[in-house]
Structure 1
Amino acid sequence: MDPIEEQIYVIIFATIFLAGLMSTFVISMIFIHRQRQNQNRQKIEHMQAEYERTMLNIENEIQNETLSHIGRELHDNIGQLLSLAKLNFNSSKPEKKTEGQTILNQVIQEVRGLSKTLNLDWVEETSLEDFIQQQLSKIESTGFCNTKLDYHGEQLQLNKDHKLVLIRVIQEVLNNAIKHASPKNIEISLESNGKGKNIYIKDDGKGFDVSKASNGSGMSNLKKRMQTIGGEFYITSKKQKGTEIKLSLPK
């Protein structure tokens, strides 16, 4: 075999080898790409399932709280009004019967109001700002502490699911402050501008060591709930210096 033929065979062999190498590389890249696609698909499915579970849990919690509220209202408020109406209707005095009718009309209005809270339609009808103001007003009306709500920028525009998560997180944060912090003041600030959407919840209560509290399920659960809507949960606190929580929302 002359040198020219040898060179041709070497070139052919090298070409076949490189073609095989390239084919193997391409096949490997396709395989890795498909693996990543499957992993990403599984991750998205897992996140979707986690999101749906979170929303279901939040809806159940709010509905259970609503039912408890209705139970208390039926027992403490409406039951008392009905007893009072009965006493007035049993009286022989005309003015007492008129008073009984007035009380009965009040009962009807109370029952209508309670019936609206049996579903979650109110979430769409109520702005987050109005909900927070209602919660703070309830706290202040008890004489527990002073409250304040501040706005910075535009009103927060949220869909029902995002609003539902925030409602539950804010409720839990306020409940924790009432149960554990014994504050004199609670302040909530809403911030919405080009830089982002944030909710700050501050109290001047006892405070605590955040590093020790991080092992608890409460804060972890709140963080996970914020993550389901693409948000973040931050907390800073010092003993005897109060606590500040920041809920950061996606732009």
Structure 2
Amino acid sequence: MEQQGEEYILIISTLVIVVVIVFLVVLFSVFQRRKNTLLQDRDAQKKRFEREIAETQIEIREETLRNISWELHDNIGQLLTLAKIQLQQYNDDSLNDISETISKSLVEIRSLSKLINPEFINNITLQEALALEIERFNRLNYIESSLKIVGNKKEINQKHGIIIFRMLQEFFSNTIKHAKATHLEVVLDFINDKEIRIIAKDNGIGFDANSLKFNGIGIQNIKTRAALINATTKIVSIPGKGTELKINYYIEKELVPHL
């Protein structure tokens, strides 16, 4: 009887051990599958993020080349034409005018050279890019523009800055081409160590939030790109009173692209 009891205990113990081992194997298998799934998702997110960065850089370069083309034709071309006419009508009194015209042309060419530099997009900060864009709008009389910096400047992820800049370019393009606005205001507010708020608003004609225009491809691009960098966006437009884009970017999450 005693031997049978020991055998019974041994069988029970063996079964318990087998069950525990099977449970651990299953648990490990489930954990490993979940881990692999998370790694695959993370890798897919990273690839989508990098693809979006590449597409954004291409779009910015294309926008930059369009701007250069317009400036060469509408601005520098006119200045050089004026200088040529002044030279043809040269006299001692017109020398200062000729010199001033040529000086303006040189200033414009230097401004363009910054944009032509292939490292411009990769190395420039968000604040510097916005300052150059606002300066260009004012210099070319596209629209009266202003940039206000609030709070203590914080460094942000360079790639995220590129995406934010492109989101704002979408807004600027709509303002200049469609809004019939006379003023554009941009505020870069470093709220604290973890959050930056960017506000861009114009005094244009605005549009109805229920219209197809409100959900157009430009606005959808802004929302999609905001999600990539863990930012939130809010677009408010009132017919006759203008449009406002508000972007809240959270610095503490910048190292983890999210879709």
The TM tier, using the shorter chain, reads 0.7 to 0.9
* TM-score, structure 1 normalization: 0.76
Percentage of pairs with the same residue: 27
Q: 1:195 to 1:25 in 2, by over 3 A?
A: same
The match for 1:153 is 151
> 1:230 and 2:227 equivalent?
no
**Partner AA of 1:206 in structure 2:** G
Q: How many equivalent residue pairs?
A: 248
Gap change, CA 1:140 and 1:183, over 3 Å in 2: farther
Q: Is 1:25 paired with 2:12?
A: no
> In the alignment, what sits opposite 2:247?
247
Which runs of 5 or more residues in structure 2 are unaligned? 252-259
Whether the 8 Å contact between 1:183 and 1:206 is mirrored in structure 2 is: no
RMSD, matched Cα:
3.8
Change (3 A) 1:243 1:37: same
Secondary structure of the structure 1 residue equivalent to 2:116: coil
Q: Following the alignment from structure 1 to structure 2, what is the Cα–Cα distance between the partners of residues 5 and 42?
A: 54
- CA gap of 1:215–1:15, structure 2 versus 1, over 3 A, is farther
Contact kept? 1:186, 1:202, Cα under 8 Å: yes
Alpha-carbon distance in 2 for matches of 1:9, 1:155? 75
Residue by residue over 1:10-59, the C-alpha shift from the partner in whole angstroms, topping out at 9 and shown as x without a partner, is: 21111111111111111112111211221111112111111111111111
**2:255 aligned partner:** none
- Residues of 1 paired with 2:240 and 2:89: CA distance? 58
**Correspondent of 1:44 among 42, 45, 48:** 42
Q: Output the CA distance in 2 between the equivalents of 1:96 and 1:165.
A: 48
Q: Tell me: CA distance 1:139–1:162, structure 2 relative to 1, closer, same or farther (3 Å).
A: same
Instruction: Work out which of the two has the higher radius of gyration on C-alpha atoms and give 1 or 2.
Output: 1
Q: Residue 147 of structure 1: CA displacement?
A: 5.2
Q: Distance in 1 between matches of 2:27 and 2:47?
A: 30
> Cα distance 1:133–1:90, how it changes in 2: closer, same or farther (>3 A)?
closer
Q: 200-209 vs 58-67, which deviates more?
A: 200-209
Aligned position for 2:60? 62
Cα distance between partner residues in 2 of 1:96 and 1:184: 34
Aligned-partner SS, 1:154: coil
Task: Name stretches of at least 5 consecutive residues in structure 1 with no aligned partner.
Answer: none
**Does the 8 Å CA contact 1:191/1:199 hold for their aligned counterparts?**
yes
Contact 1:210 / 1:236 at 8 angstroms: preserved in 2? no
Q: Deviations over 1:173-192 (max 9, x none)?
A: 23334455555664433322
